[in-house]
């Protein structure tokens, strides 16, 4: 069964545009140092799962693009940590900011909106994914 995820990145470090311009529009998601997020990547991510790409710690935090999982969890070299590969699939013409997320009552269950939700990889429901991607008017790449 296909699953849906939200993945956070600080745009100053690695934005959705960075991903869209990367070779094959693909990157390895290295550097996660949280066990819960690591376990999601290692145990639950499957090829074909879809991703909301979220910009955190910035003005206008929110969802800027869509991506898909193209390689399932594999170890970072010489470490207990783990990463996946994701590929950009669509840029959102109208990024879905936190304000827009919060204004939509259908999305009030989203983990990213909860106070103190620091987890950098979060599950989202198929409905949430559909609603957010429709709001964003995706331009498929």
By CB under 7 A, name the binding residues for DNA. Answer: 8, 10, 34-36, 56-58, 61, 98, 112, 115-120
**CA–CA distance, 133 with 66 (Å, rounded to integer):** 8
Residue 13: CB minimum distance to DNA, A: 10
Nearer residue to DNA within complex by CB, 28 or 58: 58
Nearer residue to DNA within complex by CB, 28 or 57: 57
Residue 119: CB minimum distance to DNA, A: 6
**CA–CA distance, 92 with 47 (Å, rounded to integer):** 22
Which tokens go with 91? Answer: 């840029």
**CA–CA distance, 33 with 36 (Å, rounded to integer):** 9
Residue 1: CB minimum distance to DNA, A: 26
Residue 52: CB minimum distance to DNA, A: 13
Nearer residue to DNA within complex by CB, 15 or 56: 56
Residue/partner pairs of 68-73 with CB below 8 Å, 24 or more apart:
69/5, 69/45, 70/26, 71/28, 71/47, 72/45, 72/46, 72/47, 73/41, 73/42, 73/43, 73/45
Nearer residue to DNA within complex by CB, 2 or 114: 114
């Amino acid at each position: 069964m296909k699953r849906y995820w939200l993945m956070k990145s600080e745009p100053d470090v690695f934005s959705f545009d960075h991903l869209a311009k990367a070779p094959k529009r693909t990157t390895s998601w290295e550097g996660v140092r949280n066990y819960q997020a690591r376990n999601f990547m290692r145990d639950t991510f499957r090829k074909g799962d879809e991703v909301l790409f979220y910009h955190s710690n910035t003005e206008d935090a929110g969802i800027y693009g869509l991506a898909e999982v193209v390689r399932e969890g594999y170890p970072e070299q010489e470490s207990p940590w783990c990463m996946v590969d994701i590929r950009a699939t669509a840029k959102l013409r109208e990024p879905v900011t936190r304000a827009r997320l919060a204004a939509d009552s259908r999305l009030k269950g989203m983990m990213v909106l909860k106070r103190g939700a620091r987890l950098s990889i979060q599950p989202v429901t198929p409905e949430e994914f559909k609603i957010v991607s429709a709001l964003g008017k995706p331009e498929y790449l």
